[in-house]
Structure 1
């Protein structure tokens, strides 16, 4: 059965929230409701007639005989813990199906969050535990990843920040987690024993209220015999804390208090209360769970340690993203802003931390499924030989585009300078001229000028011939996954030297064709034709007149070719004759006459060198694969 939806299940120590995303849609996930509320206290109650109840219903339903709260922790072998966790998620799952908010079965893929500091083995064990609840498809992923994905898809992270360094600070009820997201990879940052959760503040309020209660001994006895009463009183302390941090300015007055309320019976009430003075005392008191350090001190040290670890790696995060319910506490934001004070770093608390993880988990699930499908589509394109066929089809056009500029440059950089040197008597014989021009051609091909010509033509060839055909294959993939077509295009050109160093087309041509061009074109028939043209058109008979009958006699004994060869090899024409016999205009005429033949021979040799272009096709194809693979990794983050 095809997966229809992803369910983000944020089972928190303090609260639980669930969101749902449709796999084939790019619409934002929607929060789901249990007991008509989008966020529920993480509570599991047992009622003799109604069975298991969760959230608010477990708290307010009369007749509940067992109540458990704040039970999220690392997986362990405690049977009570294991039963509580699996029963809680099974009850949630049943309620969501009964209310028709999810499809259920193998149509729904559940993604459950865990602290980023948990090891892979702890995640795997947690996943096995949750699967006992009867959910067929379920994965456990770090909550930091969910927060990052929510920030990204909700438009809070620009693309450049997505590719740079982002520090996630997740202040939850049971832990505070630091996670660096660098180049889209998650790196948890450890800072020692991570018990720094906001529920410790709840417990401190509870202990203070109990110690100051006029009937504290009786309450202690009641809590021992009836633990569900203690659970409700602890929730009243959490309520007082949340009320205080939602209105800190109001409770700065010593006579004004944020209060919680719980009735034990008609005569005994548990009423926690806090204001600014009380909260400052609580935040600064030593806590045994934190090694006798205060919550405030421990949080400051944790943030400072995270900053120091980043400094050692020379990492300055572009963004510090705060999430988790406790990120609403103003002092946590002030400490983070104080420690991460770099001008390059932007601090951004999540505006809805109580929903951030659930929404992010649903988005991560959808993204995972769609990203996998996206990569499969591109892999299918790689495996279809379509890229190779596109390249092979347009090789003749590449050869044609190379011929004229190469011929022009050879004439300008090898033939003309050689003839000029002979004209100025810097070269003795025409045979030496032949050697000189060959050497110039070799040096020119090895220099940057030839490489630039070949690279420019290859760039133009790729952009005008390969890219449009490639886009015809990649554009439908981009449309299918709702990402810009440019994600898999090379619209900024594919400069082999600068933009994509792994796709150096020009290097491939130079490496495999220089020997052919120099030895066959310059060292062979074409250069011989140049020398013949000089001799027959300009010098043979003037030389004979100057050197007299001995040369003419040689012409009687040798054929015409022999005379020319003898002259080329042996005759050193006086310097005063050279400029008149081979003027600048005559040099230009020779180059103009020889150019069509040079172009023809160049093209023939390039075509004949099939092995080189077979290698070129393979190199371009491999380079395209690497370049596209890089683009795929960059494009994946754009998938919603």
Structure 2
């Protein structure tokens, strides 16, 4: 069954949020609501009549006898923990289906986040645990990936920064995770034991309030007998912290306090409160969970450690992206900016960190599905015979493009200079002339200039013949996935090595045909023209004056083939005769007459050299596959 929607489920230690993205749309995901709220306290309660309740309802509903909060942690074998996690997710799933906010079953794919510091095995175990909630399709991905995807698709990251180095600092309730994204690849930065979560601040406020409470002994008894009351008091401390960091300026006055409130009964109240001086004490007090370091110092040390690790890799991040609900604490921005100063590194705190991960997870899910489908479409094209047939169809045009420049090159670099050397008496016999022209032709075909001509013609051929047909195949794919057509095009031309990969056509010609071309056209044609001049009488009498009529007469008694061979091999015509009877004009005329024959032979031999062009077709096909695969990897980041 086709997947219609992806659900980003941000099950946080402190809060939970859910978002939905439609797979076939590029519209931003929408936040879903539970209890008419887009964000819920991560709380699970049990009511004897109403059953399991989540979020605020679990906190305020009268008659709740069991309450569990802040239960997200690495997967373990504790049965109570496992039941709590799976029940919480199953209850959320049921409520989302009952409210018709999701389709459910096989058409809905859940993407649930986990800290990027978790190992692959921990992630797999967590995924296995969450599937116990009865959700058919579910995947666990690092929350840092969701933060990156949300920043990318919400337009907060330019394309250049997407391809550069981005440091993601995710400050959650239970952990603070650092993830490097370099060239779109996520690299979690492991600092060992990671317990630096903002819930430690909640706990410190709770302990401070409890220690100063007038009825602390009674409170202790109540908490032991009724643990859900302690959970509610801890949440009151959390809300106090959030209120403080949302309005820090208000609480700089010693007489102003951010307050929480929880009623145990009509006589006992739990009222946590903080202002600036009190919060500074809390942030700077040693905590046993942080090996007697303060929260603020531990955060600073972690950011410094991240910087040191990056420096060892030779990386200065262009961007520090801050997310997680606790990233609203302004002092964390100041520390990050101090350690990663501008202009080398820009600081980008997410404006809605409490929703960032849920929205990002929904986007990750949609992107995964659309990117997989995109790659499948391109691979279908690459795996088919379309590419081979496309290239094969245009080989005659490539041959046509090669013939004229190769013929011109051979005439100008082998025939003409050879004949001119013979004309100037720098070559003794016509046989020597033949040898000279063969050597020149072979040398030129193997040289850089001939290869440059071939490369230029191949590029012209690819751009004019192959590219339009290839674009006709790739453009519909780009339109389907709503990315620019240029993503799979070669509009900036191409490298010669791509259309002519590791194959010199000059070499391919030499392998089977150059000897024939030289012998038949260059050797045979050129020498035949000169010998014809001799045998038709144009040079007979001048030669006879030099060598004697008897020599010529004796030669004439032989058959014509023998005469030609004798003249070619033995006859050393005097220079004054050569220049007189083979003037520059006649050399030009001879080359003009030879050109059609040379082009004809090149056409025949190139067309007949199927092995070389089969190899070329295969290598161009492989080159196209390789480059298109690279372009696919670059293009998928543009998919929404």
Q: TM-score, normalised on structure 2?
A: 0.95
Measured against aligned partners, the alpha-carbon deviations of 1:44-71 in whole angstroms (never above 9, x if no partner) come to: 1112222111111111112222111111
Give the drift of 1:370.
1.5
> Would you say 1:512 and 2:494 are equivalent positions?
no
Measured against aligned partners, the alpha-carbon deviations of 1:397-456 in whole angstroms (never above 9, x if no partner) come to: 111111001111111222222223333333232222222222222222222211111111
Measure, in 2, the Cα distance between the counterparts of 1:552 and 1:271: 130
Measure, in 2, the Cα distance between the counterparts of 1:237 and 1:424: 105
Name the CA shift for 1:32/1:417 in 2 (closer, same or farther; >3 Å).
same
> Secondary structure of 2:452's partner?
helix
> Would you say 1:603 and 2:603 are equivalent positions?
yes
For structure 2, the 5+ residue unaligned runs are none
Q: Which residue of 1 aligns with 2:47?
A: 47
Give the drift of 1:290.
1.0
Give the drift of 1:287.
0.9
Name the CA shift for 1:544/1:294 in 2 (closer, same or farther; >3 Å).
farther
Measure, in 2, the Cα distance between the counterparts of 1:546 and 1:344: 88
Measure, in 1, the Cα distance between the counterparts of 2:121 and 2:458: 51
**TM alignment of 1:248-327, pairs within 5 A:** 248-327=248-327
Name the CA shift for 1:288/1:159 in 2 (closer, same or farther; >3 Å).
same
Name the CA shift for 1:169/1:545 in 2 (closer, same or farther; >3 Å).
farther
Measured against aligned partners, the alpha-carbon deviations of 1:560-585 in whole angstroms (never above 9, x if no partner) come to: 44333323222333444444343333
Give the drift of 1:506.
7.4
Name the CA shift for 1:349/1:579 in 2 (closer, same or farther; >3 Å).
farther
Q: Which residue of 1 aligns with 2:527?
A: 531
Name the CA shift for 1:347/1:580 in 2 (closer, same or farther; >3 Å).
farther
Give the drift of 1:344.
3.9
Give the drift of 1:353.
0.9
Q: Which residue of 2 aligns with 1:159?
A: 159
Is contact 2:173-2:197 (8 Å) kept?
yes
Give the drift of 1:485.
1.6
Q: Which residue of 2 aligns with 1:454?
A: 454
Measured against aligned partners, the alpha-carbon deviations of 1:213-271 in whole angstroms (never above 9, x if no partner) come to: 22222222222222111111111111121122112222222222222222222222222
Is contact 2:459-2:493 (8 Å) kept?
yes
- Structure 1 stretch displaced more, 339-348 or 117-126: 339-348
Give the drift of 1:508.
4.9
> Would you say 1:199 and 2:199 are equivalent positions?
yes
Q: Which residue of 2 aligns with 1:117?
A: 117
> Would you say 1:490 and 2:502 are equivalent positions?
no
Q: Which residue of 2 aligns with 1:107?
A: 107
Name the CA shift for 1:586/1:242 in 2 (closer, same or farther; >3 Å).
same
> Secondary structure of 1:118's partner?
coil
> Secondary structure of 2:611's partner?
helix
Is contact 1:540-1:564 (8 Å) kept?
no
For structure 1, the 5+ residue unaligned runs are none
Give the drift of 1:521.
0.8
Measure, in 2, the Cα distance between the counterparts of 1:320 and 1:510: 54
Measure, in 2, the Cα distance between the counterparts of 1:136 and 1:506: 50
> Secondary structure of 1:49's partner?
coil
Is contact 2:500-2:616 (8 Å) kept?
no
Name the CA shift for 1:504/1:291 in 2 (closer, same or farther; >3 Å).
farther
Give the drift of 1:505.
4.4
**TM alignment of 1:613-628, pairs within 5 A:** 613-628=613-628
- Structure 1 stretch displaced more, 573-582 or 106-115: 573-582
Give the drift of 1:610.
1.0
Q: Which residue of 2 aligns with 1:150?
A: 150
> Secondary structure of 2:124's partner?
helix
Name the CA shift for 1:608/1:294 in 2 (closer, same or farther; >3 Å).
same
- Structure 1 stretch displaced more, 193-202 or 331-340: 331-340
Give the drift of 1:457.
1.0
Measure, in 2, the Cα distance between the counterparts of 1:554 and 1:249: 121
> Would you say 1:563 and 2:563 are equivalent positions?
yes
- Structure 1 stretch displaced more, 220-229 or 35-44: 220-229
Is contact 1:304-1:339 (8 Å) kept?
yes
Q: Which residue of 2 aligns with 1:369?
A: 369
Name the CA shift for 1:551/1:196 in 2 (closer, same or farther; >3 Å).
farther
Q: Which residue of 2 aligns with 1:633?
A: 633
Q: TM-score, normalised on structure 1?
A: 0.95
> Secondary structure of 2:503's partner?
helix
Measure, in 2, the Cα distance between the counterparts of 1:506 and 1:80: 64
Measure, in 2, the Cα distance between the counterparts of 1:84 and 1:224: 20
> Secondary structure of 1:507's partner?
coil
Q: Which residue of 1 aligns with 2:11?
A: 11
Q: Which residue of 2 aligns with 1:25?
A: 25
Measured against aligned partners, the alpha-carbon deviations of 1:64-112 in whole angstroms (never above 9, x if no partner) come to: 2211111100011111111111111111111111111111111211111
Measure, in 1, the Cα distance between the counterparts of 2:285 and 2:543: 111
Is contact 1:534-1:590 (8 Å) kept?
no
Give the drift of 1:517.
4.0
Is contact 1:441-1:522 (8 Å) kept?
yes
> Secondary structure of 2:315's partner?
coil
Measure, in 2, the Cα distance between the counterparts of 1:44 and 1:546: 119
Measure, in 2, the Cα distance between the counterparts of 1:110 and 1:467: 41
Give the drift of 1:550.
4.0
Give the drift of 1:32.
0.3
Q: Which residue of 1 aligns with 2:435?
A: 435
Measure, in 2, the Cα distance between the counterparts of 1:142 and 1:392: 46
Is contact 1:451-1:506 (8 Å) kept?
no
* RMSD (CA atoms): 1.8
